[in-house]
């Protein structure tokens, strides 16, 4: 069974063909970073326009790369068209959804709507490179606690199957990826800030600055990252400084980046630990762009070993937004009998 997946929730246009839910036959991703860079964040209108410009050619390329469209005058050799229809930037979502609906109608191929957050969780079971074997444990993955960490979300779920994810806690202000992006901007590093902070952090002293670990009430599973962002600002530019003030003399960017990354990861792991304890579970799934953070991955692996938790996270290449995770989860849904009408709506909100 081959499924085409379309992803346009934010600033990556992604189209992929996935066979049997895990074998990635093609995975075309076009990042819009160069378009948004100078604004220090994603500009929704620019994102939608950029998706419109590339989506048709990306679909064509993904089908050709996967060798499943030998005769362009007839429909390609695929069984379903999966599309991320929530949550995300509404204008951006509508581009992918409209493309998927049009192709579904023109080719007579079923449409499957996929929740982008659920797809980030599913991506932990996909391999980005050959040999594409199904990863062990796929069918016994649940119940688990999932932690989705991205530019728009920092949310803990109790996951009972691939599509039943009950929210346990979420951020009250900035998402964790957003905190990385803002901290990087304060330090004068490039956008997106996650990879830039991580590169600097590898050269720094993780204990150089004691940034706050905001854990909220003792049992809370919510997150707050605005305090640490302000602490970074005041530490590097002085108390009550202006955001565009220069860095104080003697500030070491690697030390600040390392101390910031450590504080953020401490908070994420403590909340995950709390959620596992409260739900009485020993399986954890990490997903989303920030799951590409090597320090987070290694700390999570250590936690798994020391505390007897089965931890899963996606291959590095599948952490940030891509069409393969949409096609992957779309395949699972389609296999279980899910299809959607052409009236399917886009929504900026997560399902829960």
Q: Return residues touching Zn ion (CB under 5 A).
A: 150, 321
Nearest in space to 24 (alpha carbons), one of 347, 311, 315, 342: 315
Instruction: Return all residues near 301 (Cβ < 8 A) that are at least 6 apart.
Output: 311
Stretch of 189-197, 206-214, 218-226, 271-279 lying at the interface with ligand KG4 (CB under 6 A):
189-197
Closer to Zn ion at the Cβ: 2 or 153?
153
User: How far apart, in whole angstroms, are the C-alpha atoms of residue 96 and residue 216?
Assistant: 38
- The binder of 193, among Zn ion, ligand KG4, none, by C-beta within 5 to 8 A per type, is ligand KG4
Stretch of 138-146, 154-162, 192-200, 278-286 lying at the interface with ligand KG4 (CB under 6 A):
192-200
Tell me if 152 contacts ligand KG4 by CB under 6 A.
Answer: yes
Stretch of 55-63, 177-185, 251-259, 272-280 lying at the interface with ligand KG4 (CB under 6 A):
177-185
Instruction: Return all residues near 286 (Cβ < 8 A) that are at least 6 apart.
Output: 124, 146, 147, 149, 296, 297, 300, 311, 312, 313, 314
Tell me if 89 contacts ligand KG4 by CB under 6 A.
Answer: no
- The tokens describing 114, both together, are 């996929």
Of the candidates 22, 125, 162, 180, which one interacts with ligand KG4 according to CB under 6 A? 180
64: helix, coil or strand?
Answer: helix
Closer to ligand KG4 at the Cβ: 281 or 303?
303
- Site size with ligand KG4, rule: CB under 6 A: 19
Closer to ligand KG4 at the Cβ: 2 or 51?
51
Closer to Zn ion at the Cβ: 104 or 150?
150
Stretch of 76-84, 92-100, 148-156, 306-314 lying at the interface with ligand KG4 (CB under 6 A):
148-156
Of the candidates 3, 4, 10, 325, which one interacts with ligand KG4 according to CB under 6 A? 10
Site for ligand KG4 in 279-338 (CB under 6 A): 288-290, 292-293, 320-321
Q: What is the DSSP string of 200-229?
A: HHTTS-TTSS-------STT---B--HHHH
Strand order across the 154-161 sheet: 164-170, 154-161, 144-149, 283-287, 310-312
126: helix, coil or strand?
Answer: coil
User: How far apart, in whole angstroms, are the C-alpha atoms of residue 330 and residue 339?
Assistant: 9
- Residue 311 DSSP one-character state: E
Residues that bind ligand KG4 (CB under 6 A): 10, 150-152, 177, 180-181, 192-195, 198, 288-290, 292-293, 320-321
């Amino acid at each position: 069974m081959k499924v085409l997946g379309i992803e346009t929730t934010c600033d990556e246009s992604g189209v992929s063909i996935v066979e049997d839910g895990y074998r990635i036959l093609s995975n075309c991703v076009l990042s819009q970073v160069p378009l948004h860079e100078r604004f220090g964040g994603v500009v929704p209108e620019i994102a939608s326009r950029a998706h419109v410009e590339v989506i048709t050619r990306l679909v064509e390329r993904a089908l050709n790369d996967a060798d499943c469209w030998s005769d362009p005058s007839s429909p390609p050799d695929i069984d379903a068209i999966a599309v991320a229809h929530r949550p995300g930037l509404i204008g951006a979502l509508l581009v992918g959804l409209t493309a998927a609906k049009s192709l579904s109608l023109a080719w007579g191929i079923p449409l499957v709507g996929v929740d982008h957050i659920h797809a980030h969780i599913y991506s932990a079971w996909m391999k980005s490179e050959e040999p594409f074997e199904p990863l062990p444990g796929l069918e016994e993955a649940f119940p688990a606690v999932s932690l989705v960490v991205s530019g728009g979300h920092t949310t803990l779920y109790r996951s009972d199957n691939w599509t039943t994810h009950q929210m346990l806690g979420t951020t009250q202000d900035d998402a964790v990826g957003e905190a990385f992006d803002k901290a990087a901007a304060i330090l004068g590093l490039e956008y997106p800030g996650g990879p830039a902070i991580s590169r600097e952090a590898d050269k720094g002293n993780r204990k150089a600055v004691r940034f706050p670990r905001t854990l909220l009430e003792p049992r809370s599973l919510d997150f707050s990252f605005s305090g640490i962002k302000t602490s970074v600002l005041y530490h590097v530019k002085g108390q009550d400084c202006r955001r565009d003030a220069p860095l104080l003399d003697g500030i070491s960017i690697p030390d600040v980046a390392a101390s910031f990354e450590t504080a953020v990861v401490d908070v994420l792991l403590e909340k995950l630990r709390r959620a596992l304890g409260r739900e009485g579970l020993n399986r954890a799934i990490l997903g989303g762009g920030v799951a590409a953070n090597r320090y987070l991955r290694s700390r999570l692996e250590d936690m798994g070993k020391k505390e007897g938790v089965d931890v899963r996270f996606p291959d590095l290449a599948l952490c940030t937004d891509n069409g393969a995770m949409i096609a992957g989860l779309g395949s699972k849904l389609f296999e279980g009998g899910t299809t959607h009408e052409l009236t399917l709506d886009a929504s900026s909100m997560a399902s829960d």
